[in-house]
A and B are shown apart, each in its own frame.
Chain A
């Protein structure tokens, strides 16, 4: 994986790019390092959670959403106290925490209205095999 990234870097540096672009390629937190892509994948979690707003509320996992909300909340707070303050990471964690909070509210409202999580489906294929 690292060798592949090294090859990509060499190919990109041979292209006729401006010095500013070349500085970006070699940056310690640039697009060829993991530090660049970590916030990107956290945005993917946020978008997946937003897409899951349309899922039926019985299928929402309360455990998972609590964990996502807690991660988002704690990281939002800590992005404010680290040096340097990382607003981009704070934004992604705040949004992720907000989507988790929304899903938790949906689930709690469902339970308050008397909703019950559906029981596991009966093992039909096993019964057919027994017969």
Chain B
């Protein structure tokens, strides 16, 4: 309970913006995971590429920001993986069309 209370009152706890920002970024990761089951023509290559770059840059941001935001960092690692998987799916699909 003390750990929970410490976390709630910490500078990256649920009373601060540093918490809810990463939480809504996890929504993008979840959307990416749910979309991995959809057919590849539904995936937008523009959005996937941009979200991949966004996550790579925000990984660096989360590391460098004061206070260091491990929640945001882990969120963007997962998003990089999810968006890379979607992008590979789209690339394979498009290669299959042109062959």
| Bound Cα distance A62, B52 (Å) | 19
The answer on a CB contact under 8 Å between B17 and A45 is: no
* CB neighbours of A48 from chain B (8 A): 44, 46-47, 49-50
The answer on a CB contact under 8 Å between B57 and A38 is: yes
In the complex, identify which listed stretch (A7-15, A16-24, A64-72) lies at the interface while the others stay far away: A64-72
Which residues of A29-67 are within 8 A (CB) of B?
Answer: 33-35, 37-38, 41-42, 44-45, 48-49, 51-52, 55, 58-59, 61, 63-64, 66-67
The answer on a CB contact under 8 Å between A59 and B44 is: yes
Q: Knowing A120-B39, A121-B41 touch, does A63 contact B30 (C-beta < 8 A)?
A: yes
* CB neighbours of A55 from chain B (8 A): 44
Nearest chain-A residue to B50 (Cβ)? A48
Nearest chain-B residue to A64 (Cβ)? B31
* CB neighbours of B27 from chain A (8 A): 66-67, 70-71
The SS class assigned to the B binding surface is helix
Q: Does A81 contact B (CB under 8 A)?
A: yes
Q: Does B28 contact A (CB under 8 A)?
A: yes
The answer on a CB contact under 8 Å between B51 and A45 is: yes
Nearest chain-B residue to A62 (Cβ)? B31
Q: How many residues of A contact B (CB 8 A)?
A: 34
Q: Knowing A48-B46, A67-B28 touch, does A61 contact B35 (C-beta < 8 A)?
A: yes
Chain B interface category by residue count:
20 to 34
The answer on a CB contact under 8 Å between A74 and B31 is: no
Nearest chain-B residue to A38 (Cβ)? B61
* CB neighbours of B35 from chain A (8 A): 61, 63-64
Q: Does B67 contact A (CB under 8 A)?
A: no
Chain A nearest CB from B8 CB (Å) reads 18
The answer on a CB contact under 8 Å between A67 and B50 is: no
The answer on a CB contact under 8 Å between A67 and B44 is: no
Nearest chain-B residue to A58 (Cβ)? B42
* CB neighbours of B30 from chain A (8 A): 63, 67
* CB neighbours of A74 from chain B (8 A): 20-21, 24
